[in-house]
Protein backbone atom coordinates (compact mmCIF):
# COMPACT_ATOMS: atom_id res chain seq x y z
CA UNK A 1 0.00 0.00 0.00
CA UNK A 2 1.28 3.49 -0.86
CA UNK A 3 2.34 5.68 2.03
CA UNK A 4 0.83 9.06 2.92
CA UNK A 5 1.31 11.82 0.35
CA UNK A 6 1.38 15.57 1.00
CA UNK A 7 1.11 18.18 -1.75
CA UNK A 8 1.95 21.49 -0.08
CA UNK A 9 1.11 24.88 -1.57
CA UNK A 10 4.42 26.48 -0.62
CA UNK A 11 6.09 28.39 2.24
CA UNK A 12 6.93 25.03 3.80
CA UNK A 13 8.41 24.30 7.23
CA UNK A 14 6.84 27.27 8.99
CA UNK A 15 4.11 28.03 11.48
CA UNK A 16 0.81 26.74 10.16
CA UNK A 17 2.29 23.56 8.67
CA UNK A 18 1.03 21.46 11.58
CA UNK A 19 0.42 18.54 9.22
CA UNK A 20 4.19 17.88 9.25
CA UNK A 21 3.91 16.50 12.79
CA UNK A 22 1.25 14.07 11.59
CA UNK A 23 3.39 13.02 8.63
CA UNK A 24 6.41 12.50 10.86
CA UNK A 25 4.38 10.26 13.15
CA UNK A 26 3.00 8.33 10.18
CA UNK A 27 6.56 7.62 8.99
CA UNK A 28 7.22 5.62 12.12
CA UNK A 29 10.54 7.36 12.74
CA UNK A 30 12.19 10.71 13.47
CA UNK A 31 14.18 11.30 10.28
CA UNK A 32 13.07 13.32 7.27
CA UNK A 33 15.14 13.06 4.09
CA UNK A 34 15.09 16.49 2.45
CA UNK A 35 15.88 16.81 -1.27
CA UNK A 36 16.50 20.51 -2.00
CA UNK A 37 16.75 19.75 -5.72
CA UNK A 38 14.28 22.40 -6.87
CA UNK A 39 16.25 25.04 -4.93
CA UNK A 40 19.58 24.12 -6.55
CA UNK A 41 20.07 27.65 -7.89
CA UNK A 42 18.39 29.40 -4.96
CA UNK A 43 20.69 28.65 -2.01
CA UNK A 44 19.59 25.08 -1.23
CA UNK A 45 21.45 25.24 2.08
CA UNK A 46 18.92 27.81 3.28
CA UNK A 47 16.04 25.44 2.55
CA UNK A 48 17.84 22.70 4.45
CA UNK A 49 18.49 25.01 7.42
CA UNK A 50 14.80 25.92 7.56
CA UNK A 51 13.79 22.26 7.44
CA UNK A 52 16.35 21.36 10.12
CA UNK A 53 15.04 23.95 12.55
CA UNK A 54 11.39 23.14 11.82
CA UNK A 55 11.57 19.39 12.25
CA UNK A 56 13.77 19.71 15.34
CA UNK A 57 10.88 21.60 16.90
CA UNK A 58 8.62 18.65 16.06
CA UNK A 59 10.98 16.14 17.66
CA UNK A 60 12.41 15.04 14.32
CA UNK A 61 15.64 15.35 12.40
CA UNK A 62 15.97 16.67 8.84
CA UNK A 63 18.79 15.08 6.82
CA UNK A 64 19.73 16.67 3.50
CA UNK A 65 20.57 14.68 0.40
CA UNK A 66 22.27 16.80 -2.24
CA UNK A 67 20.57 15.76 -5.43
CA UNK A 68 21.15 19.05 -7.19
CA UNK A 69 22.22 17.91 -10.66
CA UNK A 70 21.17 15.07 -12.91
CA UNK A 71 24.46 13.30 -12.23
CA UNK A 72 23.49 13.19 -8.55
CA UNK A 73 20.16 11.55 -9.40
CA UNK A 74 21.98 8.87 -11.40
CA UNK A 75 24.16 7.95 -8.42
CA UNK A 76 23.22 4.49 -7.05
CA UNK A 77 24.44 5.39 -3.55
CA UNK A 78 22.06 8.34 -3.35
CA UNK A 79 19.27 6.17 -4.77
CA UNK A 80 19.88 3.62 -2.00
CA UNK A 81 19.51 6.35 0.64
CA UNK A 82 16.17 7.43 -0.85
CA UNK A 83 14.95 3.84 -1.07
CA UNK A 84 15.67 3.28 2.62
CA UNK A 85 14.00 6.51 3.77
CA UNK A 86 10.62 6.47 5.49
CA UNK A 87 9.88 10.17 4.90
CA UNK A 88 11.09 12.00 1.77
CA UNK A 89 10.39 15.72 1.32
CA UNK A 90 10.95 17.64 -1.94
CA UNK A 91 11.49 21.35 -1.35
CA UNK A 92 10.17 24.26 -3.36
CA UNK A 93 12.06 26.09 -6.09
CA UNK A 94 12.06 25.45 -9.83
CA UNK A 95 9.70 22.68 -10.97
CA UNK A 96 11.38 22.53 -14.38
CA UNK A 97 14.81 21.97 -12.86
CA UNK A 98 13.41 19.41 -10.43
CA UNK A 99 11.80 17.48 -13.26
CA UNK A 100 14.90 17.57 -15.45
CA UNK A 101 17.06 16.26 -12.61
CA UNK A 102 14.80 13.42 -11.42
CA UNK A 103 13.00 12.17 -14.52
CA UNK A 104 13.91 8.55 -15.40
CA UNK A 105 16.70 8.25 -12.82
CA UNK A 106 17.54 5.76 -10.08
CA UNK A 107 16.77 8.36 -7.41
CA UNK A 108 13.26 8.87 -8.79
CA UNK A 109 12.71 5.12 -9.10
CA UNK A 110 13.85 4.76 -5.49
CA UNK A 111 11.39 7.42 -4.31
CA UNK A 112 8.51 5.66 -6.08
CA UNK A 113 9.56 2.31 -4.64
CA UNK A 114 9.78 3.75 -1.13
CA UNK A 115 6.31 5.28 -1.45
CA UNK A 116 4.94 2.00 -2.80
CA UNK A 117 6.42 0.38 0.30
CA UNK A 118 4.58 2.75 2.64
CA UNK A 119 7.02 5.65 3.07
CA UNK A 120 5.72 9.19 3.45
CA UNK A 121 6.34 11.47 0.47
CA UNK A 122 5.81 15.24 0.56
CA UNK A 123 6.48 17.97 -1.95
CA UNK A 124 6.00 21.70 -1.57
CA UNK A 125 5.41 24.22 -4.34
CA UNK A 126 7.67 22.90 -7.14
CA UNK A 127 7.79 19.55 -5.37
CA UNK A 128 4.00 19.29 -5.28
CA UNK A 129 3.65 20.37 -8.91
CA UNK A 130 6.20 17.86 -10.23
CA UNK A 131 4.78 14.90 -8.32
CA UNK A 132 1.65 15.19 -10.47
CA UNK A 133 1.04 14.63 -14.15
CA UNK A 134 0.19 16.83 -15.93
CA UNK A 135 2.25 19.59 -14.37
CA UNK A 136 1.52 23.30 -14.60
CA UNK A 137 4.29 25.08 -16.51
CA UNK A 138 5.24 28.14 -14.41
CA UNK A 139 6.37 30.06 -17.48
CA UNK A 140 2.87 30.62 -18.79
CA UNK A 141 0.32 28.59 -16.89
CA UNK A 142 -0.15 25.91 -19.55
CA UNK A 143 0.44 22.21 -18.96
CA UNK A 144 3.49 20.03 -19.45
CA UNK A 145 4.63 16.58 -18.39
CA UNK A 146 5.19 15.91 -14.69
CA UNK A 147 6.78 12.96 -12.96
CA UNK A 148 3.42 11.30 -12.37
CA UNK A 149 3.49 9.90 -8.86
CA UNK A 150 -0.15 10.96 -9.07
CA UNK A 151 -1.73 10.99 -12.52
CA UNK A 152 -4.77 12.92 -13.76
CA UNK A 153 -4.20 15.72 -11.25
CA UNK A 154 -2.52 19.12 -11.56
CA UNK A 155 -1.48 21.43 -8.72
CA UNK A 156 -1.55 25.21 -8.56
CA UNK A 157 0.87 26.14 -5.76
CA UNK A 158 0.93 29.50 -3.95
CA UNK A 159 -2.71 29.87 -4.92
CA UNK A 160 -4.79 32.83 -3.86
CA UNK A 161 -7.90 31.93 -1.84
CA UNK A 162 -9.71 33.61 -4.73
CA UNK A 163 -8.04 31.94 -7.72
CA UNK A 164 -9.60 34.41 -10.16
CA UNK A 165 -7.39 37.17 -8.69
CA UNK A 166 -4.31 35.48 -10.12
CA UNK A 167 -4.32 35.91 -13.90
CA UNK A 168 -1.84 33.09 -14.49
CA UNK A 169 -3.75 30.61 -12.35
CA UNK A 170 -7.02 31.63 -13.93
CA UNK A 171 -5.45 30.94 -17.34
CA UNK A 172 -4.43 27.48 -16.14
CA UNK A 173 -8.01 26.67 -15.25
CA UNK A 174 -9.09 27.80 -18.71
CA UNK A 175 -6.46 25.62 -20.41
CA UNK A 176 -7.16 22.47 -18.38
CA UNK A 177 -8.35 19.52 -20.44
CA UNK A 178 -11.88 18.25 -19.98
CA UNK A 179 -12.34 16.37 -16.73
CA UNK A 180 -8.88 17.20 -15.31
CA UNK A 181 -8.98 18.09 -11.59
CA UNK A 182 -6.82 21.10 -10.74
CA UNK A 183 -6.07 21.62 -7.06
CA UNK A 184 -5.41 25.24 -6.03
CA UNK A 185 -3.45 25.03 -2.77
CA UNK A 186 -2.60 28.08 -0.67
CA UNK A 187 0.69 28.46 1.18
CA UNK A 188 1.31 26.55 4.43
CA UNK A 189 -1.47 24.18 3.40
CA UNK A 190 -1.37 20.55 2.34
CA UNK A 191 -3.56 18.38 0.18
CA UNK A 192 -3.09 15.03 1.91
CA UNK A 193 -3.69 11.59 0.46
CA UNK A 194 -4.01 8.86 3.06
CA UNK A 195 -2.87 5.29 2.32
CA UNK A 196 -6.49 4.25 1.70
CA UNK A 197 -6.69 6.78 -1.15
CA UNK A 198 -8.76 9.35 0.73
CA UNK A 199 -7.93 13.02 0.11
CA UNK A 200 -8.21 15.78 2.72
CA UNK A 201 -6.91 19.29 3.37
CA UNK A 202 -4.84 20.44 6.34
CA UNK A 203 -2.88 23.49 7.41
CA UNK A 204 -3.27 27.23 7.64
CA UNK A 205 -5.07 27.88 4.36
CA UNK A 206 -7.41 26.22 1.90
CA UNK A 207 -7.55 23.77 -0.98
CA UNK A 208 -10.00 24.31 -3.83
CA UNK A 209 -10.48 21.76 -6.61
CA UNK A 210 -11.66 22.79 -10.07
CA UNK A 211 -12.92 20.58 -12.87
CA UNK A 212 -13.90 22.09 -16.23
CA UNK A 213 -13.58 25.56 -14.70
CA UNK A 214 -16.09 24.86 -11.96
CA UNK A 215 -15.33 24.26 -8.31
CA UNK A 216 -15.72 20.65 -7.23
CA UNK A 217 -15.14 18.80 -3.98
CA UNK A 218 -12.18 16.67 -2.95
CA UNK A 219 -14.11 13.62 -4.12
CA UNK A 220 -13.28 14.74 -7.69
CA UNK A 221 -9.62 13.86 -7.08
CA UNK A 222 -8.18 10.62 -8.50
- Say which CATH number the domain at 105 has: 3.40.50.880
What pTM does this model have?
0.97
pLDDT at 171: 92
pLDDT at 19: 98
CA–CA distance, 44 with 19 (Å, rounded to integer): 23
Which structural domain range is residue 128 located in?
A: 5-220
**Model confidence over 61-91: pLDDT tens digits?**
999 999 999 999 999 999 999 999 999 999 9
Cβ pair 173, 213 in contact under 8 A: yes
Q: Compute the mean pLDDT over every residue in the chain, rounded to the nearest whole number.
A: 97
How many domains, the chain?
1
| Mean pLDDT confidence for 3-15 | 98
Please say whether the dihedral angle defined by the alpha carbons of residues 7, 108, 104 and 74, taken in this order, is positive or negative. Answer: positive
Burial class (CB in 10 A: 0-12, 13-18, 19+), 36: buried
**Model confidence over 161-209: pLDDT tens digits?**
888 778 889 899 999 999 999 999 999 999 999 999 999 999 999 999 9
Amino acid sequence: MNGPLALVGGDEWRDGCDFDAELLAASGGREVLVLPTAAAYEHPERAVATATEWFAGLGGKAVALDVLRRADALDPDRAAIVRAARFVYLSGGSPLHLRSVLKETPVWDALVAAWDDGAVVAGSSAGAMVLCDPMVDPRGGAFTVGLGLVVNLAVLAHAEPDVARDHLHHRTLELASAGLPVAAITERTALLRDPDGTWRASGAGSVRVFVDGEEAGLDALP
